[in-house]
């Protein structure tokens, strides 16, 4: 399914295979589950990061998944529709403020992203990053992975980079960037 969705829309899907479990663990490692109320995931795809978050989050933590791809959204909805405080939204990441409001959240403590910023149009990237900056709290974190550091300066325009790690055992290998408001 993943390859088919990539072939249909490579600029939006951005990868030919789901992320590895090792990358998922690195993506959620910065999350302090005991101290958060709301986590948002952009582009959950097949749910590799989602499963890792659900395994660790408390029942009261609101978890909002925002997926634009219709097929991925449908599968995610079927899989997680009965999980407490897990909301699967078919929509655009730049509309995060609307979804937070819908689920009675003032801010996101953590936003994890599987979006392919390297292949997204510049205007779409800028719109999403602006929305992230306005919706994470002062102590909030934005965590994303990228296959190259080609867009690092774009991220640094909006955020302060706290930490970068690298996961070799992913196809392709990926950088994990942890950022806060700058």
Residue found by looking up tokens 């602006």 in the block: 130
pLDDT of residue 182: 79
Higher pLDDT residue, 31 or 5? 31
Q: Give 103-152 pLDDT, tens digit per residue.
A: 999 999 999 999 999 889 999 999 999 999 999 989 999 999 999 999 99
pLDDT of residue 17: 60
Give DSSP secondary structure letters for 134-174: HHEEEEEEEEEEESSSTTHHHHHHHEEEEEEEEESSSSS-E
Whether pLDDT at 13 is above 50: no
Beta bridge partners of 64: 40, 87
Whether pLDDT at 6 is above 90: no
Number of domains present in the structure of the chain: 1
pLDDT of residue 19: 87
pLDDT of residue 16: 43
> Which tokens belong to 166?
């690298």
Residue found by looking up tokens 């390859």 in the block: 3
Whether pLDDT at 15 is above 80: no
Question: What is the arithmetic mean of pLDDT over 149-174?
Answer: 95
Q: Provide the CATH number for the domain around residue 6.
A: 3.40.50.150
User: Range of 164's domain?
Assistant: 2-181
Residue 165: phi, psi to the nearest 5? -125, 170
Higher pLDDT residue, 48 or 3? 48
Q: Give 46-94 pLDDT, tens digit per residue.
A: 999 999 999 999 999 999 999 999 999 999 999 999 999 999 999 999 9
Label the pairing between strands 159-167 and 174-181: antiparallel
Beta bridge partners of 87: 64
Rounded to the nearest 10°, the torsion over CA 139, 50, 12, 4 is 170
Listed in sequence order, the DSSP H helices in 85-121 are 96-102
């Amino acid at each position: 399914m993943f390859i088919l969705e990539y072939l249909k829309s490579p600029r939006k899907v951005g990868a030919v295979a789901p992320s590895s479990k090792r990358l998922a663990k690195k993506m959620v490692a910065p999350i302090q589950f005991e101290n958060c109320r709301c986590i948002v995931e952009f582009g959950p795809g097949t749910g590799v990061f989602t499963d890792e978050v659900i395994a660790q989050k408390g029942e009261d933590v609101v978890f909002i998944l925002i997926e634009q791809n219709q097929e991925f959204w449908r599968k995610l909805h079927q899989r997680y529709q009965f999980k407490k405080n897990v909301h699967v939204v078919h929509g655009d990441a730049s509309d995060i403020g609307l979804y937070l409001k819908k689920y009675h959240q003032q801010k996101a403590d953590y936003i994890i992203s599987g979006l392919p910023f390297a292949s997204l149009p510049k205007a779409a990237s800028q719109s999403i990053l602006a929305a992230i900056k306005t919706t994470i709290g002062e102590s909030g974190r934005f965590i994303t992975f990228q296959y190259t550091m080609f867009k690092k300066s774009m991220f640094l325009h909006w955020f302060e980079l706290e930490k970068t790690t690298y996961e070799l055992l992913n196809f392709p290998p990926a950088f994990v960037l942890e950022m806060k408001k700058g």
